[in-house]
Amino acid sequence: MICLATLAILAPWIAPWDPNRPDIRKILDSPSKTHPLGTDQLGRDVLSRMLYGARVSLAVGFVSVGIATLIGIALGAAAGYHGGTIDAMVMRLVDLMLVFPRFFLLLAVLAFLRPSIWTIMVVIGLTGWMSVARLVRAEFLSLREREFVLWSQSIGAGAFRIIWRHILPNAMGPVLVAMTLGIPAAILTESGLSFLGLGVQPPHASWGNILNEGKDAIEIGWWLSAYPGFAILVTVLSYNLLGEGIRDALDPRLRQSFGRIVSRSR
């Protein structure tokens, strides 16, 4: 995962070819020393396009999850701390958003907007905050009854200070896990939209539109589908495993169970 991020950041310097430069003499060349991952239907180097596509996929993952997390934290904190009417309104909004299948909601929104990387980031972020809001609300409902919160209220601390200085830092564990698991979901969403032609538009490279271009030549250019598909698989699996590891590390019950297993084995 760190290696992938490093390659994406250094893509302008390590890519062997211009990712958008066609070469009609090398159309659909198989992998070779000159082009390690082959070329596409326009003679463009697939390795270079994969490196630049990693920049797009990771940028969409991080930015869209950042937008969703900020919205989810704000709404979940308000609902969990204040309760009552605010809680009811926020949860009804969450229920309303969850009624619509996310992917079809994205398709409907993008049908009226000009597809671009920034549009994809914002739209994915605006349609993916519900799980974070529910997690934050649940944590706030539990933490607002703790002694340190009651003590802060007794000395006259304002709601904003209590939320952002006292409760939220103690509720960030589940949020961090949700963010880590949300990145691969955003990458898959962007890849799916680009595969359908509604995501990042050519000539800009993304793993999804490389797959889209490869489906028409899969019988003679298998590398156009194999390499971006494998990159998506490895990236999504890596972030899912990272999220599971963070969840296990932050869950005290799992640590206690692991400790008991270790002590018994001894």
Query: Residue 148 has what pLDDT?
Result: 75
Cα separation of 93 and 87, whole Å?
A: 10
Q: What pLDDT shows up at residue 252?
A: 59
**pLDDT tens digits, one per residue of 185-234:** 888 888 888 888 877 777 788 888 888 888 877 778 888 888 888 988 88
Name the more confident of 166 and 134.
134
* Residue 66 pLDDT: 92
Q: Which among 57, 23, 35, 14 has a CA at the least distance from the CA of 239?
A: 57
For the chain, give every domain's residue range. Answer: 45-265
The pLDDT of residue 262 is above 50: no
Q: What single-letter DSSP state applies at residue 168?
A: G
CATH code for the domain defined by 45-265: 1.10.3720.10
Residue 253, pLDDT > 70, answer no
Q: How confident is the model at residue 257 (pLDDT cuts 50, 70, 90)?
A: very low
| Sign of the dihedral defined by the CA atoms of residues 76, 78, 81, 83, in that order | negative
Task: Report pLDDT for 261.
Answer: 39
Mean pLDDT, range 127-136, rounded to an integer: 89
Q: Which residue has the higher pLDDT, 259 or 198?
A: 198
pLDDT at site 255: 52
Residue 119 has pLDDT above 90, yes or no: no
DSSP element (H, E) containing 128: none
Residue 104, token pair as written in the block: 């079809």
- Report the share of the chain in percent with pLDDT over 90: 6
